[in-house]
Amino acid sequence: MFELKTIALFLVTAVAEIVGCYLPYLWLNQGKSPWLLIPAGLSLIIFAWLLSFHPTAAGRVYAAYGGVYIFVAILWLWTVDGIRPTTWDIVGSLVAVSGMVIIMFAPKNV
Domain boundaries, the chain: 2-105
Buried b (16+ CB within 10 A) or exposed e, 61-85: beebbbbbbbbbbbebbeeeeeeee
74: part of which helix (H) or strand (E)? helix 58-79
2: confidence class by pLDDT, cuts 50, 70, 90: confident
Q: CA 65, CA 46: separation in Å to the nearest integer?
A: 15
Q: CA 100, CA 67: separation in Å to the nearest integer?
A: 5
| pLDDT, position 78 | 97
The mean pLDDT value for 84-109 works out to 93
Instruction: Say how many Å lie between the first and final Cα of the chain, rounded.
Output: 21
| pLDDT, position 84 | 97
| pLDDT, position 22 | 97
pTM attached to this predicted model: 0.87
pLDDT, tens only, 7-31: 999 999 999 999 999 999 999 999 9
- Of the chain, the percentage scoring pLDDT greater than 90 comes to 74
The one-letter amino acid code at 96 reads A
Q: CA 27, CA 13: separation in Å to the nearest integer?
A: 22
| pLDDT, position 92 | 97
